[in-house]
Structures are given as structure tokens and as C-alpha cells.
Amino acid sequence: MQSSVDVRYAQTLRYIHSLERFGVRPGLSRIGALCHALGDPQKQLRFIHVAGTNGKGSTSTMLANICRQAGYKTGLYISPYVLDFRERMQIDGEMIPKERLVQVIDRVREAADTLPEDDAATEFELITAAAFLYYREENCDVIVLETGLGGRLDATNVIDCPLVNVIVSISLDHTAVLGGTLAAIAAEKCGTLKNGGVCVSYPLQAPEAAEVIRRTSEERSVTLIVPDADAVSIVHEDIRGTDAVIDGLAVHVPMLGRHMVYNACTVVAAARALNRRGLTVSDADIRAGIAQSVMPARMQIVRERPLVLMDGGHNEGCAYAFRDAAQRFLPNRRIVGICGLMADKAYETYLSVVAPLFESIVTVRPDNPRALSADALRDAAKPYCGDCTAARSFAEAAHIALEKAGADGVIAVCGSFYMICDLQKELTK
């Protein structure tokens, strides 16, 4: 029997998800009105604002762990969640308690109900406002704030100038909203830069994106820090992570792949920049914070025999990062892919990079209205992999993959985050 808290929590989640009907509506007027009705909690907080395409979650997690290691009460706001909705709002590594989430959403809902119909908040806007309220009421010292979609018109951009802006790797994604070129997408991400701020950019940005970041920083008198990729040296790497020296600092990056090392390079520069912005962060804090940073579904090992990797991500940049890691750490291994993708993403591009890695592919339909059917995804994958099977359920997909992989093979679950939780449960029974 469910407790009263669990019942109220389930009701709260249903209310939140009911706001999906408003869809994605870029703009700051609605979140601004909602935050104002709540007393503008965001104006009483200090932020590290993280924008970009690939690596926002891992970068944000490392920065939050570093700030916590330095003794600051640290909020972390990320999306999407993988296993539990409450992953989206954390303080010092702990998810918001169910009862507390219910209380905060009730407060925000009351404020939202006082606003004109034209100011009706979207799901993301309501959650963002709730996070601001929660972090203020819990007296957080600093918040690591991950953008949702884009930057310039993203709800998180209602904040004033943050302590530090971070722009992670930029690649083509959400092109219908953000633009069809890297320069256009970079311009949207740079909309988070405020006059007189500090920005740290990923060291391996594509030239056209890097130029937009440089030019925008110059126009807004932003101090731009671009870490030197040549200041990264790999000491040892395997499927458990990487030991590296980054700008003179020896670190262990537990998340798999070279791209994670360069995310850590960005993090080191951003953490050091905090020292000129009123926080005190030592190199020992940075080392410890990075070493304890793990995230669900980022090349995460969840089973040993067969080896099962979970890697959420759907765009071209994610595909190349996965391919690089698989080729580097799983050479000559029999890999069975379980893949599910959204119909409104560039799924053919993703498949062209990832599918040739697999001896066989099992396709599924993620639990989302925008998901591509398993049959359509199977047909799209066939040109790149000779053995493609469409599964009718997550349980069937897991059964097929386990049978094909055997004890000595590898199962790679890749694509949409909307299937990760269900497939992890099925593959780890």
C-alpha cells in the first residue's frame, strides 16, 4: 500500500507532466512572471551556468561535486533525469525529498494560477522556478544550473550574471529551434553570456562555434577562458575511466571516454576561475570532486557478464563520442546494440556512425510520444548492420540482446534517455 507521501508525489508528477501540452515555447516572459510572483528567488542565489550541446550533465555534475568538496552547500539542476525525476533537483548530491518536491510544486502552482492565461508556464519553466525556490529556501551557497534547450531564450537564462558561464561542446541538435549551423547554435548558447561575466569554453570547439563564442565575449566584455587541449596528457585509460594530467593537475576521470577528459579539462578551468569570483576552490577540491563524479547512462557499466553499457545520447556528437570509446576500449568484442531514438532527431546520422560497430541491433520504441517506432528504426539501421531485430517491449529487447551477446559479449544500450531506466531494470535482473 502506498504511503500518503507517495500518493501525493505521484499526483504532483502527473500535474507536472500534464504541462507537456504547452510544448517547448522559447522565451523569458513567462518564467520571468512566474519567478516574480514567487519573490524572484533566483536573484538571491549564485550560479554557475552551463550551456552547450554535449557534456552539460557530466560537466555540471563535476562542478557541483567540486563546490561541495570545497565546503559550499551546492545545488545541482540538470535535465533530463534517467532513473528518478528527482535527479533534476539535488543539493550536495542528494535528490530533493518527495515530500519537499510536493510542497515546492504546490507553492509554484499557486503562483502560476495567479498569472494571466498568456503567461501559462510550460513544464520546464515550472520545474525551473520550483528549483530556484527550493535552493533559496535551503540557503544554498552556489547552484550549478544546466540549461534545457538552447540558452538565449531558455528558462534558466532568467538569472542575472552568474559567477561563471560554461559552454561545453557544441554540435548540431534541435536545429528546427536553434538553427541549422554550428554558428547559429553557438549564438543561441552565447545568449547566456551577460556583460562583464566570465566564460569558460570547451577546448575542442569547432572553429565556427569557437569564433562566435570569442566574438560574443568580446562584444559583452566577458573574460573568455579557453583551456589548452595540449595541456592534457593521458597517463592511463581503460573501461573504468582515465588517469590524466590536466594543466598540471593529476586527476582520475571515472566516466569513460576521451570526451569526458576534455569535459574535465573545461571543469578544471571553470573551478579555478571561481577563485576570482568570490569562492575558494583548491586543486585538491578539484581532484576529489572529479574523482567522485559518476552519472547514470553516460557509458555506464551496469553489469559485468555480459558487459552491459548504458549511454544516453542521440545527436551526432554523442554518436562520435560513443564510437571513439567503443573502438578504443572494446576492440574485437562482439557488441549487440539496443537502440531507441526520437523521430524528430537526426536518427539516420546517428545510426550511420554507431550502427556499424554492432554485430547485431535490437531496436525499441522509447516511452515518449515523439519516439520512432521499433520497426522504422530497424529499417533505418539495416544499411549499416546486417542483423536488425525490432522488439515489441523492453523485456523482449533485453531477452534478445542477452541471448545474442552470450556471457562473453557486450550489450550497448544507446540512444534516447527515455528508455534507459526500463532497459537497465530488464538487463540487471
Q: In this predicted model, what pLDDT tens digit does every residue of 42-92 receive, in sequence order?
A: 999 999 999 999 899 999 999 999 999 999 999 999 988 888 999 999 999
DSSP state of 169: B
**CA–CA distances in Å: residue 95 to residues 30, 109, 155:** 26, 21, 21
Predicted TM-score (pTM) of this structure: 0.89
Give percent of the chain with pLDDT exceeding 70. Answer: 97
Confidence of residue 35 (pLDDT cuts 50, 70, 90): very high
Beta bridge partners of 77: 89, 145
The whole-number average pLDDT for the span 347-366 is 95
Q: What is the dihedral of CA 139, 140, 141, 143, to 10 degrees?
A: -150
The whole-number average pLDDT for the span 397-414 is 96
How many Cβ atoms sit within 10 Å of the Cβ of residue 377? 27
The whole-number average pLDDT for the span 4-13 is 94
Strand-strand pairing, 360-363 and 388-390: parallel
The whole-number average pLDDT for the span 31-46 is 97
Higher-scoring residue by pLDDT: 401, 369: 401
CA distance 208 to 177: 19
CA distance 201 to 57: 15
The whole-number average pLDDT for the span 82-109 is 96
Handedness of CA 191, 195, 197, 201 (dihedral sign): positive
The angle subtended at Cα 306 by Cα 302 and Cα 307, nearest 5°, is: 45
* CATH code linked to domain 300-427: 3.90.190.20
CA distance 275 to 288: 17
pLDDT of residue 173: 62
Least confident of 21-25, 162-166, 250-254: 21-25
The whole-number average pLDDT for the span 231-245 is 94
Confidence of residue 177 (pLDDT cuts 50, 70, 90): low
Task: Return the CATH class of domain 4-291.
Answer: alpha beta
Instruction: Locate the domains of the chain by residue range.
Output: 4-291, 300-427
